[in-house]
């Protein structure tokens, strides 16, 4: 059995798993239409990532029946990926993973559909309003104080703990994939995620040996060297994000884990961070996965505030700005 036959037998996709010498099957697609599925009208582009683009849209069916909030978001694949014959299956993989994660701090997906005229698959999801963490870092270049950091960290750790407990790995946790909304923090974009071995065994998966759209400075060394996505790798990425929020600086000078290991860079303790909290964060920043923090519950307990605020600080700011 050749590689392509074996891939098909295992439920894998041609685009993700075809050998490099194989010419992928390319579809010649028309431009993305302004109206998808006869129901969703694209209004404006919200953001573009390594694989996909997200648009603000109006659900015309909701609008027709008088829904006061017909606005939603729609995710499609970039043209470079949408043209591959199995692109729709890959986008469905993201939908199938994320829709199972019903949690207040994880983005809510509504549905997966295909526009038959353009042959474009798309995901409908909640419209998120607020700054992403990378935008926050631009506004707060010196980082957050400890109590502000706790109010961001706790819901993010909760979301990641829930994700792992339900057999899903995020695979691309970084500041631009976390947003602060008026209804709370949301972790989003599971496009590079994957299920654990016993979850959704027939779901198409990306080959990480062929496809490396993740952001290198948040990728664990095992992902960079072996294409291996693990819970500990998600923790490493989360630790980099929280360190950056604490100090305004990446723990390893925006270098990859491989470069940081080669240069033997040692992250400095954030000035305002309590000792116990720093000990847990430093362990999560370990380059060597065998020495890295593995227990999100322990991390959460070490970062738990003594008294929770009635409303997170960014929600108070968003409320005043509206």
For residues 29 and 39, give the distance between their C-alpha atoms in angstroms, rounded to a whole number.
20
Instruction: State both tokens at 113.
Output: 């559909």
75 labelled as ligand-binding? Answer: yes
The Cα 30–Cα 119 span in angstroms is 9
Residue 61: HSE in the Cβ half-sphere, 13 Å Cα cutoff: 6
Q: How far apart are CA 296 and CA 164, in angstroms?
A: 10
How many CA atoms are closer than 13 Å to the CA of 21, on its beta-carbon side? 1
DSSP 8-state secondary structure symbol assigned to residue 156: H
Q: How many degrees, rounded to 5, is the angle at CA 186 between CA 127 and CA 201? A: 95
Query: Is 295 in the active site?
Result: no
Catalytic residue among 158, 172, 189, 234: 172
User: How many whole angstroms separate alpha carbon 226 and alpha carbon 197?
Assistant: 17
Distance of CA 66 to the CA centre of its chain: 33
Which letter does DSSP use for residue 289 in this model?
G
Binding site as annotated, residues:
75
Which residues contribute to the annotated binding site for ATP? 75
**Residue positions annotated with a catalytic role:** 172
């Amino acid at each position: 059995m050749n590689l392509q036959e074996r891939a098909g037998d295992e439920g894998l996709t041609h685009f993700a798993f075809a050998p490099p010498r194989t010419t992928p099957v390319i579809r010649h697609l028309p431009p993305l239409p302004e109206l998808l599925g006869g129901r969703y009208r694209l209004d404006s582009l919200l953001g573009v990532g390594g694989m996909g683009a997200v648009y603000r849209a109006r659900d015309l069916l909701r609008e027709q029946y008088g829904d006061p909030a017909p606005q939603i978001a729609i995710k499609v694949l970039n043209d470079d990926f949408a043209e591959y014959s199995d692109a729709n299956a890959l986008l469905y993989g993201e939908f199938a993973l994320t829709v199972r994660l019903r949690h207040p701090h994880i983005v809510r997906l509504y549905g997966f559909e295909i526009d038959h005229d353009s042959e474009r698959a798309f995901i409908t999801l909640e419209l998120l309003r607020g700054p992403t963490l990378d935008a926050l870092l631009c506004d707060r270049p010196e980082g957050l104080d400890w109590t502000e950091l706790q109010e961001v960290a706790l819901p993010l750790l909760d979301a990641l703990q829930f994700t792992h407990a339900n057999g899903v790995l995020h695979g691309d946790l970084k500041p631009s994939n976390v947003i602060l909304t008026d209804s709370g923090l949301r972790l989003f974009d599971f496009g590079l995620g994957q299920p654990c071995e016993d979850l959704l065994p027939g779901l198409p998966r990306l080959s990480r040996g062929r496809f490396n759209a993740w952001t290198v400075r948040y990728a664990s060394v095992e992902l960079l060297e072996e294409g291996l996505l693990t819970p500990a790798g998600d923790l490493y990425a989360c630790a980099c994000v929280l360190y950056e929020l604490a100090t305004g600086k990446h723990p390893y000078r925006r270098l990859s884990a491989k470069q940081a290991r080669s240069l033997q860079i040692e992250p400095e303790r954030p000035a305002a961070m309590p000792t116990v909290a720093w000990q847990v964060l430093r362990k999560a920043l370990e380059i060597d996965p065998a020495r890295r923090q593995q227990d999100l519950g322990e991390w959460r307990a070490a970062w738990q505030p003594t008294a929770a605020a009635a409303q997170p600080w960014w929600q108070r700011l968003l409320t005043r700005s509206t």
